[in-house]
Amino acid sequence: MSFQSLYCAAFDGLSAKEVEVEVSFTKALPSFQVTGLAGNAIQESKQRVQSALMANDFKFPPLKITINLSPSDLPKQGSFYDLPIALLVAMYGRNNIKDSINNEKPKKYFAFGELGLDGRIKDTKAIYPLIFSLLSDEKNLDSIFFLPMESKDFYCQIPNLKAYFVDTLSEAIEILQTSPTIVNIIQELPFSYMDICSERYYYSDNFELDFIDIVGQIRAKRAALIAACGFHNILFEGSAGSGKSMIATRMPYILPPLRRNEILHNASHNLIITPNRPFRNPHNSATKAAILGSAVGHSVKFGEISLAHNGVLFFDELPHFPKSILESLREPLENHYFVISRLCTKVKTPSDFMFIGAMNPCPCGNLLSISKECRCSKREIDSYRGKISEPIWDRIDLCVQMQEGDSNKDRISSKEIQKQILDAFKFQKNRGQKCYNSRLIGESLEEFCKLDDECISVLDKAIARFGISLRQKNKILKVARTIADLAGSDNIHKEHLAESISYRKIS
């Protein structure tokens, strides 16, 4: 009996777990079996592997071939197991796999790829997130990967990746036998960037949707600028057609720049390397599982709040979302993660997004209209607004009423807004701040949001007059800090605090 092994991976929750692919050849009736909780796609790989090997002049020995995927209690799915299975079978009767770097300590060889019937190696959407997760663990930094050549430019963006990129199965077999030197050059991201404190931040200056299209709405655009700069949650309230959705859909293009690792993390969901942040806009008929995510066994299905990580989650017609969904947003809006708990699974999913809400002022939408009469009773209006609970209101940093019939024709482009945000972002980083203003807590909040005596007096009067909660008070301070950053001020002054208070919830 001969025996060798390679490695692949499977998701266990959100983390990639190594899967050792083992092969044995035993004297028995000829057969080809795959064990280890292999899903349908893996069971079907036997036909693809056999065809690919025969296309490369491999003759199957008259033996029983057993492939085992270990650990055997972890469910596995995916056609990317084709390549390691084929390589192990192809190595039958050949020399053992050589170490690729000067015969030092043995390296782990990972192989990912779907096989065509002619031996071509194809990419699949499941490979990238697995590799990104594996290389987040220091123990895999010396590992060597076999990956599809067709996606070389995509995978070469991942730091610390040591890989052979192959087009065909025969190329992979030859590399296992000869172990040529690996030359992997991490490609620079082809985006605009700024260097701050020895770190590079990337952004896009291509605005598919531009603020220049929005006429008037000076206050709403100012609030959008503040929200984007500090990554604050914001709610727009106004009549139908006043521009709420227009502003919301343009905000992802002006948000602060991203680090390389954040861009690569976002690519795990959409398989696109871009400095544009994700924008998720679920309909109010979406199910709770679609919004929050779900888990079945070891498999996690991301919801909208996780797909919006590092980006924007936009709820249009906010009061029409089911109350159970709105109340479930409390945890991710406050803690920036969400825990999916099921019978045998508990997974903590990252959900650090900027929340944008839009709503009408009343059920008919005409309460703030200057040309139409509202048909709603006070009871109906109270019931409509009451669908959003006080804890949810508490988690919204800025509330803005749209101005219908705004005669001001002033316009500002997204490029101009972005410049202000980039300058403020650089200002924040240069003072040693590691997070967005909206994420300041504890000692960081006290350090960067100090108030002088005059500001303390103004804030105390506002708290007494409007019944502001402690959470609202902290949000007022954070928004004031962002306003001061946009003004290039080291300290929060009275005018910054007053503007911040003006964006509180309107009762």
Sketch out the chain's domains with CATH numbers. 2-178 (3.30.230.10), 195-406 (3.40.50.300)
Provide the token pair at 387: 């669908």
CA distances from 232 to 50, 58, 311, 455, 489 (A): 55, 61, 12, 21, 19
pLDDT at res. 282:
97
- CA–CA distance, 441 with 435 (Å, rounded to integer): 10
* Residue 405 confidence (pLDDT): 61
In this prediction, residue 103 carries a pLDDT of 46
Nearest-5° Cα angle at 158, 154 to 163: 80
* E strand or H helix that includes residue 32: strand 31-35
Contact between 304 and 290 under an 8 Å Cβ cutoff? The reply is yes
Q: CA–CA separation, 80 vs 60, rounded Å? A: 22
Tokens standing for residue 204: 């896009």
Q: What is the per-residue pLDDT for 50?
A: 95
Identify the pLDDT of residue 101: 39
Closest CA to 234 of 166, 129, 165, 315: 315
pTM across the whole model: 0.92
Mean pLDDT, contiguous 10-residue spans, the chain (507 residues): 76 92 93 94 94 92 94 94 95 61 64 96 96 92 94 91 94 88 80 94 94 92 97 94 93 96 93 94 95 85 95 96 95 93 84 96 89 91 92 94 74 95 96 94 93 94 90 95 96 96 81
Give the 3-state secondary structure of residue 384.
helix
